[in-house]
Amino acid sequence: MTDNYLIVVGVDGSDGGRRALDWATREAASRGGTVQAVIAWRWDGAESGPVTAANPADERQHARAVLDREIQALAARRGSVSPVAAEVVEGRAADVLTHAARGADLLVLGSHGHSRFRHTVLGSVSEECVRKAGCPVVVIPVPVPAPPVLAELAVPS
């Protein structure tokens, strides 16, 4: 085990990001390493949907609040967690994450259940990171709810 084993994890307030942060902290603990949680933000709202703030400073503050809330929630769920470094960076999520992970041993991301249309038009942050990252990438799946069971259709005799 080494003290300089670094895991970068993407956090965005989603279930996938939450699961990725949890997995990354457990993995870092097992390797005696550290975790750097990174959240990307953009003022134009191109990747994250509607703009959530009135100006860039508020958007950055919103991102910081999301990241802090996720780290605090992790500590509450697990009791005690090794310290997690937190970084809020302006830019496209895939660019920010792959840049942050350029010296890391591992990049951890959550999968997201976007519709086929959104995936086709915008692409997937995790897919882009897999292509661009200079280190191994772990994508933590988010369970997909089972579709409702359809009653058998009665066939007239």
Give 22-56 pLDDT, tens digit per residue: 999 999 999 999 999 999 999 875 544 555 667 89
**CB-CB neighbours of 106 under 10 Å:** 21
Residues paired with 41 in a beta bridge: 90
Amino acid in position 96: V
Q: Which residues have C-beta within 8 Å of that of residue 121, sequence separation ≥ 6?
A: none
CA 74 to chain centroid: 14
Closest Cα partner for 109 from 145, 79, 75, 135? 135
For residue 146, the 8-state DSSP code is P
| pLDDT tens readout for residues 107-149 | 999 987 444 444 544 458 999 999 999 999 999 988 777 777 6
User: Would the pTM of this model clear 0.85, i.e. be above it?
Assistant: no
pLDDT digits (tens, 9 = 90+) for 81-108: 778 999 999 999 999 999 999 999 999 9
Percent helix / strand / coil, the chain, rounded to 5: 40, 20, 40
